[in-house]
């Protein structure tokens, strides 16, 4: 019975508003940059040197712990029984 009920819904169509953004002011970065001082260069070097050492230590730890993690997984996760492979059926030629 609900298929035969006619419902009319008013549609209010408004034209789309066009938003115009003002053009951005262009800034030339090369003109506003100054050369870093020796103190700034040394500070930057210290930051990146420390990060490199931490990265190498983290990667070495990850590499060294891999066999341990594999052994833990073998001990605590159940092994799946190998499933028998079904032979593929050949597609029928037309």
Q: What number of CA atoms fall less than 13 Å from residue 54's CA on the CB side?
A: 6
| Confidence at residue 94, expressed as pLDDT on a 0 to 100 scale | 56
1-12 pLDDT tens trace: 567 777 777 777
* Predicted model pTM: 0.30
Please identify every stretch of the chain with a pLDDT value under 50, giving residue numbers as ranges: none
Helix (H, G, I), strand (E, B) or coil at 94: coil
Element (H, E) at 69: helix 38-76
CA–CA distance, 52 with 40 (Å, rounded to integer): 19
Chain-centroid distance of CA 63 in Å reads 23
Per-residue confidence (pLDDT) for residue 28, from 0 to 100? 67
């Amino acid at each position: 019975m609900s298929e035969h009920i006619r419902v009319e819904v008013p549609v209010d169509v408004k034209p789309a508003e066009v938003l115009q953004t003002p053009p951005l002011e262009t800034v030339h970065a090369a003109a506003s940059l100054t050369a870093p001082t020796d103190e700034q260069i040394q500070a930057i070097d210290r930051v990146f040197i420390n990060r490199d050492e931490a990265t190498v230590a983290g990667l070495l730890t990850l590499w060294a712990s891999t066999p341990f993690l594999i052994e833990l997984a073998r001990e605590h996760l159940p092994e799946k029984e190998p499933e028998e492979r079904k032979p593929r059926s050949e597609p029928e030629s037309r």
